[in-house]
Structures are given as structure tokens and as C-alpha cells.
Structure 1
């Protein structure tokens, strides 16, 4: 015999409307009541008809993640796997599905978002990057669609966002190199239109200025979040008349390319060039030498951002901007003491 919502309510000792609210994740239902009802639902084998529910409530229980470039290129960077793992953990726990979408350029991304929002296919969105003058953010605000940004908006102060203090993170990374006695420090950046790149550049430049060290245009190279980008950057940056002896690199995967490029040019790490990177992905401690990296709490960024979107959907008040702490994980790639004790 088919188990009904009334059967669940009777066994749980609550009203059918309370069971309905539990299924809908209503914010006014206590955690204890929600847990009890869900246990009874599982015990009785009750599965709510989510399609019928969506027709009545006009919800889809689907959150979209908008990828900022073609997926096949983006997913070459392990940072995004960890980020999506955090997103999925929160959505799965809350009974929501994940839809991944994007485009090959900014216009296609906007068209994708417009189609998803106006087609009623999603309840909210997550954006993985913030650009200057981003038309997607402008569109979402106009449509009053719940969304959160991983990063910070360059145009709006009140955009719901989860981020690191990227200025401080890059300041700390650069100061670590300075503390190791480095005086010629370069920067391998991401696309300069991104808020994260701009903030990390600011932190890098601030640390140099405070230590009265030079900021040289030839020591700064813009690229993408790809291994190949770091590899290509070395041909440019190390061809300077006086090349840097240390590098702050925007991302661990880019740093893998930096290691490859430096090795082909005959440079040793850290004896000739010290390296500090960002994201602390698992592979960063398996390189030769292991890479010093700033752990930005990647999983927590994804988890917290998706939690923020769900609360907006449920009309629960949120803190518009949340900062995930970072920490510097020091390994051999940046240590002067290691360089001094490795035979030449």
C-alpha cells in the first residue's frame, strides 16, 4: 500500500502541514521536528513527489553553478573540483540538485543565465568569479533571483558573496618570501579583470612597498588558471636583464607550469627561484620540491556559498559578505634554509 503524507504525520505525531513544511525545508520548523519527521519518512519508505511539489510551489530544488569558461578548460584546474565538492555537500544535505552551465565567452554565459532564470528551471545560482562590470550580476539583481558570488563584486557592495581576504593572503605570501631574504620578487597573475587577481596584486605590491623593494612591470605576467599559462610565463619573466629570484604565483596548477618552465630553463627550486602559490590543492605537496601554498579553504568556500543561496531561497536573513580564513602552508619551494643545505 502506498504511504501517504498523512501516514507520516500520524506516526510522527504532527500535522500533515508540518510534514509538508519539513519536506519544503521551511525555516520555522525546528531541527528536532525536522529530524524526527525525516526519520519516520525513511522508516515508512515515504518519498515525496518532488515534481508535483514543484508544480504547486513553483520551485525546482535545483541550483545552477555558472562556469566562467568552457568546462573542459575550467576542470583542468583541481581547485574547482574541491570547490564543487563543497557545493555538492551542502546541496545534497538540503535535498537540492546541482546544474552546471556556462558558455565559451561572456555573452554566451549571460544568454545561458537568462535562459535558466526566465525559463523557471532553477531556484538560485552560484557564480564562481567576479568580473568588473559583470552583466550577469546586473541581470540577476534586476530579476531578484537568489544568487551568491564566490569572490567579491567590483561594482556592488551589497552582493551576497563568500571570499577570502585576498589582499591579506597575497601580502602574507609575499612577506614570507621577504622574510626568507628575497629582494627580487615577481608575480604570475590571473586575468587582471578578475577581482581576485586585482586584490592579490594589491597585497603583493603593498608588501613590496612596505619592505622598500622594487615593483617591476617586467616581473609581472598575466595569464589564465592553467598549467600551460605558468609554463609560458617563464619564457617572458626570466628573460629580463635581471630576472626575479622569487615568484608569487596566482594558483597551484599555474605553479606546476612554472616549475616545468623553470626546470627547462635550468633554474633550481628553491636555490635559484623560490615559489609561493595559492589554493593548497592535494598535489601541491607531491611536486619536487613540494610547493609552499596559501590554503584558502576551497571546500568551505563552496559549502558556505551554496548555504547562502539556500537561505536566500528560504527568505532567511544572511550576512551579505562572508570571509573564509586563509593560512600559509610552508614547504620546501620557498625556504632559503632548504636552498642553503641542498648541494649545488
Structure 2
């Protein structure tokens, strides 16, 4: 069986990127570490390849950004411009430029990332999402290429650096707040079920309801993309049920705003008839009518810390995987009320 950089790294108890830099005789690696790694390479019969050497010599001052979908679609959601503002702020301070992936389909986006990596156009990548069985995450990990996730990884949590909120706790707090207002029919509108943020928030809400002996019917759980149209479609489904919900948790402000608009068009009064809480605290949530109760996830800080962690990985060969949790806060505005 072929010996890989990962095999050497595991036995030498160092990161794969450290092995790559030892191969290139990078001066940032101590002589003690170099001797240990080279000894393991000899013991295992590992022979370095050109790709590893090229990666070790990477010096570009450009960071790549990868969106969860086409840029034209993603930028309709205020989350992404704000998180990129945070990334850009730290990158600019450290003298890095940004390079954004383009593509209208998942295949085009993946091919764009491969081109960025193999063409040595960038020194590292920030992925603005985390989903199950993602080809890009798997590719970057297998290539030992520096990257950071915004969102918890589905697996390899000890090997991948990521920046996230405590989404489970945040959703649990929202559910407990709605329960305290007397609500027992609480619906959940989330993003795709393959997204880790959706799973964590649904788990937090489900556990809060379970502790309060409140049932969460299957028809109260809906998955859409993050858009106003999704919120409007969700209202059509939920309010058409024999027993519609009295409160709704939407995992994104755009969905929440769509819910608010659709309820109003149907003659429901928020929060008198239905209470709503969403996530992100985008500017639009504050100026909505009525102002939307939401969880502030500190979007800018998510981006800033992601860029900071990535630059550390690019410039510091000894950098290890880390988890950075950004605090959240439930903002109780005017879309929630006691259920009579």
C-alpha cells in the first residue's frame, strides 16, 4: 500500500502541512521537528512528490472564498456580503487579496476550486458553509490544502479548523423563549437538511420541546433554501394544516421576512396570531414591520475570525486544527407575544 503524507504525519505526530514543509526544508520548521519527520519518512519508505513540494512552497497572498451556491443566488442573502466584509477586513489588514469562486452549479464550483488549488492561485480557502459529504471539503482535506469552514464540519472535527456559533444552544434558547410565552404549536423552517447548521438548530429546538413535553409533528418541520420565497411557501403549507402553528422558528432572516410578509397577506396579525423568531440579525430584520425578533450570530465576526484562522494556517506550518465559537444573542423585538 502506498505511504502518504498523512501516514507520515500521524506517526510523527505532526500536521500533514508540517510534513510538506519539512520536504521543502522550510526555515519555519525547527531542526528537531525536521529530524523527527525525516526519520519517520525513512522508516515508512515515503518518497515525496511534486505536489507536496509545490504546496509547501506556496507563497501567494490571496485567499479563496467558496460560496454554498452560485454567487448570484448567494448574494441575495444579506448574510454573505456581511460575512465577506469580516473576511475582507482581516485579509486587508494582513495584506491579502480575495479571490471568489464562480459557477452556477455545484459541479462548476467544484471545478473552479480544483483550478484555484492546482493553479496555485491562492494560499488558502474559506468555505462559507458546511454540509454533509461535500466534495470540496473532501478534496481540500485530501490535498492537505489550508482551508477553514464557517460552520461545524460533518466529520473530522479534530482535523478541520472551523468558526461557528453554538447553533444547538441558540435554537434551544429560542424554543424555550417561545414556550415561556405559552406556545405549544411551534414550527421549524430550516435550510437544506444536509447543512450542519440546520441539523444543529433543529436538534436544539426538538430537545427544548421534548423537555417541555411538547410534540413536534413532522408536518411542522420544513426545509427550503434561504430566501423570502421559501418563507412564503412555508406559510402556505403550515397555515393550511388542520392545526396550524402559533409560533415559527425560521433559521434565516430572509425566510423570516418571507413568513412575515405571507402571513400579513393572508390576514394574520403578527405577533397577535403568530409569533416569529429568525436568525442572523440582518439589517432588514430590524427595519421590518414589525421589527423581527432574531438571533444575532455576529456575522461580521464569523468572517473576521475565519480569515484570521486561515492566515494563521497559511503562514504557520505548526498551526493545528481549532474550533472557534462566536457568541450569539437573542434579540426580542416585536414579532413575539404571549399565546392566549
Matched residues in 2 for 1:267 and 1:210: separation?
A: 29
Matched residues in 1 for 2:79 and 2:28: separation?
A: 32
Corresponding residue for residue 5 of structure 1:
none
Matched residues in 1 for 2:64 and 2:124: separation?
A: 6
* Structure index of larger Rg: 1
Deviations 1:110-140, CA, capped at 9 Å, x for gaps = 2111100001100000001111111111111
Corresponding residue for residue 231 of structure 1:
232
Matched residues in 2 for 1:153 and 1:132: separation?
A: 8
Deviation larger for 300-309 or 58-67:
58-67
Q: Per-residue deviation at 1:155?
A: 2.2
Q: Which one of the candidate residues 319, 322, 325 is aligned to 1:323? A: 325
Q: Is the 8 A contact 2:280 2:295 kept in 1?
A: yes
Q: Is the 8 A contact 1:185 1:246 kept in 2?
A: yes
Corresponding residue for residue 132 of structure 2:
132
Q: Per-residue deviation at 1:317?
A: 2.6
Q: Per-residue deviation at 1:107?
A: 2.1
Deviations 1:234-260, CA, capped at 9 Å, x for gaps = 101110000000000010111111011
Q: Per-residue deviation at 1:103?
A: 2.6
Identify if the C-alpha distance between structure 1 residues 58 and 131 changes in structure 2 by more than 3 Å, giving closer, same or farther.
closer
Structure 2: gaps of 5 or more residues: 1-26, 30-56
Corresponding residue for residue 85 of structure 1:
85
Deviations 1:131-151, CA, capped at 9 Å, x for gaps = 111111111112111100000
Aligned with 2:183: secondary structure?
coil
Q: Per-residue deviation at 1:58?
A: 4.4
After superposition, the CA RMSD in angstroms is 1.7
Q: Is the 8 A contact 1:189 1:223 kept in 2?
A: yes
Q: Within the alignment, does 1:192 sit opposite 2:161 as a pair?
A: no
Structure 1: gaps of 5 or more residues: 1-25, 29-56
Aligned positions of 1:33-182 closer than 5 A: 58-157=58-157, 158-182=159-183
Q: Per-residue deviation at 1:105?
A: 2.6
Q: How many residues align?
A: 285
Matched residues in 1 for 2:147 and 2:193: separation?
A: 24
Aligned with 2:101: secondary structure?
strand
Matched residues in 2 for 1:231 and 1:264: separation?
A: 10
Q: Is the 8 A contact 1:280 1:293 kept in 2?
A: yes
Name the structure, 1 or 2, with higher relative contact order (CA <8 Å, separation 6+): 2
Aligned with 2:110: secondary structure?
helix
Question: Which stretches of structure 1, 4 residues or more, deviate above 4 A after TM superposition?
Answer: none
Matched residues in 1 for 2:67 and 2:235: separation?
A: 28
Matched residues in 1 for 2:177 and 2:81: separation?
A: 28
Matched residues in 2 for 1:123 and 1:201: separation?
A: 35
